[in-house]
Amino acid sequence: MAEKRTIKTLKTAYSGLFKVIDLYKLIDDWVLERGYDKSEKMHSESVSETGKDIHIIIDAIKKISDYAKYVIEIELIINNVTEVVVKRQEKSETLNQGSISVGLTGYYITDYENRWQNKPIYVFFRTLVDKFLFKTPLSEEKLALVDEVKHLQSQIEGYLNLYRYRK
């Protein structure tokens, strides 16, 4: 069985004007430009009196080697989304208004093909190799994953801050 370690969890909250489509496109572009494969685990929408509620969970997966891979789970919870027409310098633009909660969790998964789980002796050797031989490369890969998660969070926060000062 693959070993899944949670390396970094970050959360961002925002309330105000934004475009849902542009936020989704920003995440999609980031995933593709960083060399990840995208898998949408869940996408649900519901409409209520106060607006639309959207819940999306995306897994961004990147194989580091035949033994390890990164998985960044992106959870978007968007509540009370309504369309608003905003006039700015004689131009009208349709934006969304609501609240967003973005959760980013970075997972470091080793032995994802279960090659070291066939026999108990393999599990023992894998533990020894992870603990003593590959200790430094694994820790460097984990730090790189932390940087990736932080970079994605800064991209999302930067995008949302663009709308914060727009009037």
- Other C-beta atoms lying within 10 Å of the C-beta of residue 16: 16
Please write the tens of the pLDDT for every residue from 70-126: 999 999 999 999 998 888 778 888 899 999 999 999 998 886 555 556 677 767 766
CATH of domain 3-164: 3.40.198
Amino acid at 147: D
Q: Does residue 26 come out as left (phi exceeding 0), alpha (psi in the -120 to 50 range) or beta?
A: alpha
Query: Which pLDDT does position 118 carry in this prediction?
Result: 64
Phi/psi for 51 (5° steps) reads: 145, -165
Domain boundaries of the chain, sorted by first residue: 3-164
DSSP 19: -
Contact between residue 99 and residue 80 where contact means Cβ atoms under 8 Å apart: yes
In sequence order, the β-bridge partners of residue 98 are 16
Spacing of C-alpha 155 from chain mean position: 11
| Cα 163-57-146 angle, rounded to 5 deg | 75
Does residue 20 have a pLDDT over 90?
A: yes
